Amino acid sequence: MIGLPVHLGQLGLGPDDTQALRAVMEKAMTLPYIVNEPSPLTLDILVTAAQHAHTLGQEITQRAGEAPYRTLHSG
């Protein structure tokens, strides 16, 4: 494992923090390469995807632990 963030908690966010997630995804919607996605994206789709990714990331962390993340981010 590399140690990159795999769930929202490692980014200081939570899946229920809809206002913050929407703000982040609003910015993501302005990136020039967003139009290269195979399907049209909406703000709601991106927020939901981040919430699902958070759940998957927590499952991975439960199995693998947070040592890789902590190692990469220790001071």
Please tell me which residue, 35 or 2, carries the higher pLDDT value.
Answer: 35
What predicted TM-score, i.e. pTM, was given to this entire model?
A: 0.85
Q: How confident is the model at residue 75 (pLDDT cuts 50, 70, 90)?
A: low
Alpha-carbon distance 16 to 39, whole Å?
25
Q: What is the pLDDT of residues 13-56, one digit of tens each?
A: 999 999 999 999 999 999 999 989 999 999 999 999 999 999 99
Please tell me which residue, 2 or 65, carries the higher pLDDT value.
Answer: 65
Q: Is residue 3 over pLDDT 90?
A: no
Look up residue 57 and give its two tokens.
Answer: 């990331």
